[in-house]
């Protein structure tokens, strides 16, 4: 355990070690954190794109009068997508990383770098979870929205793009934030295929100094700063796209929005009007 060269160094107290590490190895920590953020950001982004594509296909309506060819293609594509979701949600990411990194070379002769394998694993893993979130987000939009879009002559695609997806996106934004935060933390497992992210950096420094606690305490704090910042930014963004709580009138309200606010003339006419009275009588 005690290597002579490090004996003198080990006289340092715990906090002295923390300071020492930060002074001498700050670049290693930052580089690791940078790669972690990059993996999490790209993985979440690509995962979202996959999730939206799969979620949209899963919610294409299938009508009885549709062409048989369309039905068959849709059935097959959906089968593949369901299998994808179940497999990637149902196996640990650390195992997926090993299988994809080593398996791609053995099976398909694709020699990808550990970093590329890392991007692929995080993306398709996030995609599997996001698909279900997107499907839920689309399903949660009131059917009336789709019907109203259809009623003015929009195609399914048009109503998706301009009516349904913007609302679904707003609803699943917390879920996207969740995935980003999970990815920042869970990219740590990619150390198993030697992706040089923050956890890998920690392992390396730990191996250099045998100072497990100081090293991992610093890393712990760094992970927390990253996730907390991201969660605040997302919250701010949610509020921003919700828009202001109030609106400005674009002119005087001549129309009077309720009977109470109507000018006396119209109001009297309405309140005592034939059909208004009969309406009440009907109830």
Partner 1 sequence: MMDGSKSPVIEVSHLVKNFGKVEVLKDIDFKTYHEDVICVIGSSGSGKSTLLRCINMLEVPTAGRILFHDRDIMDRGTKITKYRAKVGMVFQQFNLFNNMTVLENCMAGPVKVLKKSREEAEEIAMKFLEKVGMDPYIHAKPDQISGGQKQRVAIARALAMEPEVLLFDEPTSALDPEMVGEVLEVMRELAKEGLTMIIVTHEMAFARDVATRVVFMDKGIIVEDDSPEVIFNNPKNPRTKEFLSRFIRNK
Q: How far is the CB of 66 from partner 1 (least distance, A)?
A: 11
Total residues binding partner 1 (CB under 8 A):
48
**Does residue number 265 form part of the binding site for partner 1 (CB under 8 A)?**
no
Piece in contact with partner 1 (CB under 8 A), picked from 25-33, 54-62, 203-211, 244-252: 244-252
Piece in contact with partner 1 (CB under 8 A), picked from 9-17, 173-181, 191-199, 241-249: 241-249
Q: Which of 13, 23, 239, 246 binds partner 1 (CB under 8 A)?
A: 246
**Does residue number 68 form part of the binding site for partner 1 (CB under 8 A)?**
no
Alpha carbon distances (Å) from 198 to 121, 122, 179, 240, 259: 17, 15, 18, 31, 65
Give whichever of 3 and 282 is closer to partner 1, judged by the CB atom: 282
> Counting beta carbons within 10 angstroms of the beta carbon of residue 186, is it exposed (0 to 12), middle (13 to 18) or buried (19 or more)?
buried
Q: How far is the CB of 161 from partner 1 (least distance, A)?
A: 9
Q: Assess contact for 186 and 9: CB atoms under 8 A.
A: no
**Does residue number 243 form part of the binding site for partner 1 (CB under 8 A)?**
yes
Site for partner 1 in 140-159 (CB under 8 A): 142, 144-145, 147-155, 158
Give whichever of 146 and 187 is closer to partner 1, judged by the CB atom: 146
Give whichever of 145 and 229 is closer to partner 1, judged by the CB atom: 145
Q: Which of 13, 257, 263, 272 binds partner 1 (CB under 8 A)?
A: 257
Give whichever of 26 and 276 is closer to partner 1, judged by the CB atom: 276
**Does residue number 62 form part of the binding site for partner 1 (CB under 8 A)?**
no
Compose the 72-111 pattern: x for residues touching partner 1 by CB under 8 A, - for all others: ----------------------------------------
Give contact residues for partner 1 (rule: CB under 8 A).
63-65, 142, 144-145, 147-155, 158, 162-163, 166-167, 170, 243, 246-260, 270, 273-276, 278-283
């Amino acid at each position: 355990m005690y290597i002579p060269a490090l004996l003198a160094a080990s006289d340092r107290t715990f906090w002295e070690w923390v300071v020492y590490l930060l002074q001498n190895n700050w670049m290693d920590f930052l580089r690791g954190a940078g790669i972690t953020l990059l993996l999490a950001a790209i993985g979440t982004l690509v995962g979202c794109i996959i999730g939206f594509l799969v979620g949209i296909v899963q919610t294409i309506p299938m009508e009885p009068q549709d062409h048989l060819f369309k039905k068959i293609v849709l059935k097959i594509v959906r089968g593949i997508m369901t299998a994808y979701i179940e497999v990637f949600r149902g196996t640990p990411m650390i195992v997926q990383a090993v299988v994809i990194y080593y398996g791609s070379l053995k099976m398909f002769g694709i020699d990808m770098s550990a970093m590329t394998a890392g991007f692929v694993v995080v993306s398709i893993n996030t995609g599997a979870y996001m698909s279900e979130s997107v499907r839920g987000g689309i399903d949660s939009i009131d059917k009336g929205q789709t019907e109203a879009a259809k009623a003015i002559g929009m195609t399914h695609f048009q109503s998706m793009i301009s009516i349904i997806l913007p609302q679904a996106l707003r609803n699943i934004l917390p879920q996207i934030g969740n995935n980003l935060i999970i990815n920042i933390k869970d990219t740590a497992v990619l150390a198993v295929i030697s992706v040089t992210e923050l956890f890998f950096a920690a392992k390396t420094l730990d191996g250099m100094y045998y100072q497990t606690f100081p090293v991992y305490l610093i890393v712990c704090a760094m992970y927390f700063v990253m996730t907390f910042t991201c969660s605040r930014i997302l919250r701010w963004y949610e509020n921003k796209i919700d828009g202001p709580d109030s609106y400005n009138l674009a002119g005087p309200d001549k129309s009077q929005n309720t009977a109470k606010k109507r000018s006396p003339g119209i109001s009297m006419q309405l309140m005592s009007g034939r059909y208004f009275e009969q309406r009440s009588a009907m109830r």
